[in-house]
Amino acid sequence: MAKEKKTVYFCQNCGYESGKWMGQCPGCRQWNTFVEEVVSIKQGAQSGSRVRGAAAPVSLREISLDENSRMKTGIGELDRVLGGGIVPGSLTLVGGDPGIGKSTLLLQVCKQLSDAGRSVLYVSGEESLQQIKMRAVRIGTFQDGLKLLCETNLETIRTCIEKEPPQAVVIDSIQTMYNEQVSSSPGSVSQVRESTGVLLQIAKGLQVPVFIVGHVTKDGSVAGPRVLEHMVDTVLYFEGDRHASYRILRAVKNRFGSTNEIGVFEMRQEGLMEVKNPSEFMLDGKPEGASGSVVACSLEGSRPIMIEIQALVCHSNFGIPRRTANGTDFNRVNLLMAVLEKRARMNLSSSDAYVNIAGGIKMTEPAVDLGILLAIASSQKDLVISEKTVVFGEVGLSGEVRSVSMADQRVQEAEKLGFETVILPKVCMKSLLSKNNKGIHLVPVENIKDAIRFIEKGQV
């Protein structure tokens, strides 16, 4: 079969293909993202093509759903992020920084599935069998249902899967796989795209769930074309400092569940351990009697999480004050500081401000606005907010404290963890009147002046 070689240019961001180099990509409008690749395509056959039978349209009423078809991984935090378990035929991409624990988590999933009597195939293109064995010894004892394969040729992997179809497949990693139909090197834009297409056919054709490990770039996004995230069903990101012990697993795309759920893990010698109550480790080590520290309640999916917001406001020695935000949106912090200056008459224009969410977690929910604002005011006025006080509420540009969703669940979580006072939006009191919250003191506030007055005098 004849081969045709040609030079093409691919956009590293979106996978746009062009016959010549361009400074700006017409697809995603990004600059200087085109890379040159020499592609060899076999004439008469397309990459990843398979002979299939004729497909016939099916009525929607004839399609039946089986809610019990999901496979439980045995890891509750991962099942929550996936939407209840692994869906047969799904293609899941797991991304994260090097050393964050991607391979460890998937190897633990293989252990749980093999312990449940399921057959699993773990394909590694980066590590040898001995390296995988060393990591497996730390995790525990594995059953015979787990098979290991060190291979990078996708056709060989495909033949192995079709010969003896497993019940789950792990590919570590997609950047090391190559397709013989494409002559470019492994990890290139065309190879990653074509290799993912082959794995997608395997997953959908054999109804085998496939997990793909993806490397990330310096800015934290999955390496390769952006079309890679569009092809898969679920995209999971591991967050957190690899030198710290806690990890956050977040779904940024999920066709089978919500993208608001997160999973919290702790890295130990024996692998990743689930953190059943994230609020406890988020508040672990909170200082007592220190200004600029406040506990806020954020909602991640269906689970309230207590977080500690720290703020440090000090006089600036330069003409332009410095503002830093860690764990939250930098522009949102600047907006809230402008609201404090305008509505609460606080002079912050000549002060440096540093805002940090302890625990290494990132929170973007508007309900933490009031917590950030009170932490800044507490540091500026050198006021101590009681460690038994929880704050939540969205703040508008007029200084009003607006309503947030699921206020009753936030109050119940605060009461369960032993907090005594909750500062919340006044408009949320309507949904709490029918609830039994006698064990906790509720402080409704209409605007930021009421909230600041409470921490100053202890009364609204």
6 is in an annotated binding site: no
Contact 237, 265 (CB under 8 A): no
Q: Can you tell me whether residue 126 is helix, strand or coil?
A: coil
Dig out the tokens for 109 from the structure.
């999933």
455 is in an annotated binding site: no
Beta-strand ranges (E) seen in 75-219 are 91-96, 120-124, 146-150, 168-172, 210-214
Contact 66, 60 (CB under 8 A): no
Angle between helices 369-381 and 448-457 (to 10 degrees): 50
Rg (CA), the chain: 26
284 is in an annotated binding site: no
Dig out the tokens for 64 from the structure.
């039946």
Cα separation, 186 vs 153, in Å, equals 10
Cα separation, 253 vs 82, in Å, equals 10
102 is in an annotated binding site: yes
97 is in an annotated binding site: yes
Give me the DSSP letters along 270-322.
Answer: TEEEE-S-HHHHHSTT--SS-TTEEEEEEEETTEEEEEEEEEEEEE-SSSS--
Contacts of residues 238-241 at CB distance under 8 Å and 24 or more positions apart, as own/partner, are: 238/94, 238/95, 238/96, 238/97, 238/100, 238/101, 238/102, 238/105, 239/96, 239/100, 239/360, 239/361, 239/362, 240/100, 240/360, 240/361, 241/360
- Strands 389-391 and 303-315, how do they pair? unpaired
Dig out the tokens for 410 from the structure.
């936030």
- Comparing CA positions, the residue from 61, 62, 116 lying closest to residue 85 is 116
Give the number of other CB atoms < 10 A from CB of residue 440: 17
Give the number of other CB atoms < 10 A from CB of residue 3: 10
74 is in an annotated binding site: no
99 is in an annotated binding site: yes
Cα separation, 14 vs 184, in Å, equals 18
Cα separation, 226 vs 433, in Å, equals 48
Residue found under tokens 């929910």: 365
Residue ranges for the known binding site are 96-103
Residue ranges for the known binding site for ATP are 96-103
